[in-house]
Amino acid sequence: MASYSLLSHSLTFILLLFFLPLFFTSFASQCKNPPIIFNFGDSNSDTGGLAAGLGFPINLPNGRLFFHRSTGRLSDGRLLIDFLCQSLNASFLSPYLDSLGGSKFSNGANFAVVGSSTLPKFVPFSLNIQIMQFLHFKARVLELVNAGLGNIINNEGFRNALYMIDIGQNDLADSFSKNLSYVQVIKRIPSIIQEIENAVKTLYDQGGRKFWIHNTGPFGCLPQKLALVQKMDLDQHGCISSYNSAANLFNEELHRSCQRIRPQLTGAAIVYVDMYSIKYDLIANSSKYGFSSPLMACCGYGGRPYNYNIKVTCGQPGYQVCDEGSRFLSWDGIHYTEAANEIMASKVLSTAYSSPPTLFDFFCHN
């Protein structure tokens, strides 16, 4: 296994290392009664669902930093959702599919699985399937509670729970990978939005009232896409313009959808979070945050400029990985490093990127 490291560190990097521990903890919550959380999504928030559900091996160096072992997360450490849970003094979410994980799911469950989309496709865990899994989970849990066989989550717990949705990127990215034209990809957006609306309305009909919805990130900046696409229309920061344009159109429609259904769902709190702006800012201003080579994967194969090869991905024989402590945004060409996720979490918690502006600990039962 080869290894490479950054040869020089700027003053910005040194200062960031000093202040970074304060960067996240400054937003730490005094949440004494963390909410129950149910999460639906793709690999951006999968805490081990793919490994548990399909037995897909996710090897070290995934998980090398915080967990010091592979947990099924596609990162060197914690994901954004892990930092958000920590901000509420809540336990990390266990994958719904992990029956051997030892969790009693008293703090909720994570239905997100790598590769998932809103529209059904070859991966068997599209958003509507995740919602069906939740309905089965809820029915079974309440059956046990009513029979006096368990003290897991009661009806009130499901009503007061926080329902998080972070999905849509794969619908757009996969459409481009199938050589659909930009116009054809854009035409699919209303169907994607409708699936998300259907999910929210189903959860609302089940008593859910608190929703936290992330938009999709600038997937045109992912090293994987940059390495695989032959003809590229690049923007000033080296990202694929058409891909990011599609992401922005999707996000505009998702924002409008949230605004549209709020009046329809009486008593519901629906918060839309602009993850695109957070992630693109990290790339466009990477040096400000102490990162070098923002379009290069820490773990992969091929070296510069992207260190991504679809035949030798992170954790597979022959991969290369940056030294621990190196400052990279991208972990494996698709997903982010723990360092990047920590900064993203601090920005999410700042309320500057949520609509309406909402403190995350608003969902605590204080």
First to last CA, the chain: 50
The reply to whether 235 belongs to the active site is: no
Same domain for 201 and 74: yes
Kindly report which listed range (22-26, 79-83, 135-139) carries the lowest average pLDDT score. Answer: 22-26
pTM to 2 decimals?
0.91
* Calpha distance 366→360 (Å, rounded): 13
Confidence category of residue 122, pLDDT binned at 50, 70, 90 = low
- The reply to whether 45 and 60 lie within a common domain is yes
292 is annotated as an active-site residue: no
Give the whole-angstrom CA distance, residue 350 versus residue 360: 9
- Helix (H, G, I), strand (E, B), or coil: what is residue 315? coil
Helix orientation angle between 241-261 and 275-284, rounded to the nearest 10 degrees: 150
Q: Is the pLDDT of residue 35 over 60?
A: yes
Give the domain-ending residue among 269, 292, 315: 292
Higher pLDDT, 277 or 102: 277
Given a cut of 60, is residue 10 above it in pLDDT? no
47 and 130 both lie in a single domain: yes
The secondary structure of 35-74 as a DSSP string is PPEEEEESTTS-SSHHHHHH-----TTTTTTTTSS--S-S
pLDDT score recorded for residue 56:
84
Closest CA to 227 of 185, 184, 177, 275: 177
| Local structure of residue 76 (DSSP, 8 states) | S
Find the mean pLDDT for residues 11-40: 62
Q: Say if 52 falls within a structural domain.
A: yes
At residue 365 the predicted structure's pLDDT band, cuts being 50, 70 and 90, is confident
281 and 340 co-located in one domain: no
Residue 8 lies in a domain: yes
233 within some domain: yes
**Burial of 142 per CB tally in 10 Å (0-12, 13-18, 19+):** middle
Mark which of 292, 307, 331 sits at the end of a domain: 292
Lowest mean pLDDT among 27-31, 102-106, 296-300: 27-31
- Three-state secondary structure call for residue 335: coil
pLDDT at 150: 72
Are 309 and 228 members of one domain?
A: no
Q: What are the tens digits of pLDDT across the range 183-238?
A: 999 999 999 999 999 999 999 999 999 999 999 999 999 999 999 997 779 999 99
Dig out the tokens for 180 from the structure: 């659909």
Asked if residue 356 belongs to a domain, the reply is no
Range of the domain at 303: 1-30+293-351
User: How many domains does one find in the chain?
Assistant: 2
Q: How many CA atoms lie within 13 A of 212 on its CB side?
A: 25
Mean pLDDT of the chain: 90
Note whether 122 and 200 are same-domain residues. Answer: yes
| 3-class secondary structure, 178 | coil
Of 275, 279, 249, 280, give the one whose Cα is nearest residue 175: 249
Helix/strand/coil for 251:
helix
58/191 same-domain check: yes
**Whether residue 317 sits in one domain with residue 265:** no
Q: Tell whether 362 is covered by a domain.
A: no
Is 364 contained in some domain?
Answer: no
Annotation marks residue 241 as catalytic: no
Task: Examine residue 365 and state whether it is found in any structural domain, yes or no.
Answer: no
Residue by residue, DSSP assigns 105-174 as -TTEEE---TT--SS--SSS--HHHHHHHHHHHHHHHHHHHHTTS--S--HHHHHH-EEEEE--HHHHHH
Which of 292, 320, 338 delimits the end of a domain?
292
Is the domain of 221 the same as that of 346?
no
Q: pLDDT tens digits for 281-330?
A: 999 999 999 998 999 999 999 999 999 999 999 999 999 999 998 999 99
Q: For residue range 242-260, what is the model confidence (pLDDT) as tens digits?
A: 999 999 999 999 999 999 9
Q: Please identify which of the residues 45, 126, 166, 335 carries the catalytic annotation.
A: 335
Are 320 and 249 part of one and the same domain?
Answer: no
Residue 196 lies in a domain: yes
In sign, the C-alpha dihedral spanning 232, 238, 244, 245 is: negative
Residues 167 and 314 in one domain: no
pLDDT given at position 29: 67
Query: CATH number, domain at 276?
Result: 3.40.50.1110
Summarize the confidence of residues 73-100 as an average pLDDT.
93
pLDDT of residue 124: 74
Contacts of 258 (CB under 8 A, 6+ apart): 213, 270, 272, 355
23 and 101 fall within a common domain: no
Which is the catalytic residue, given 43, 70, 126, 286?
43
Q: Which of 332, 346, 354, 361 is catalytic?
A: 332
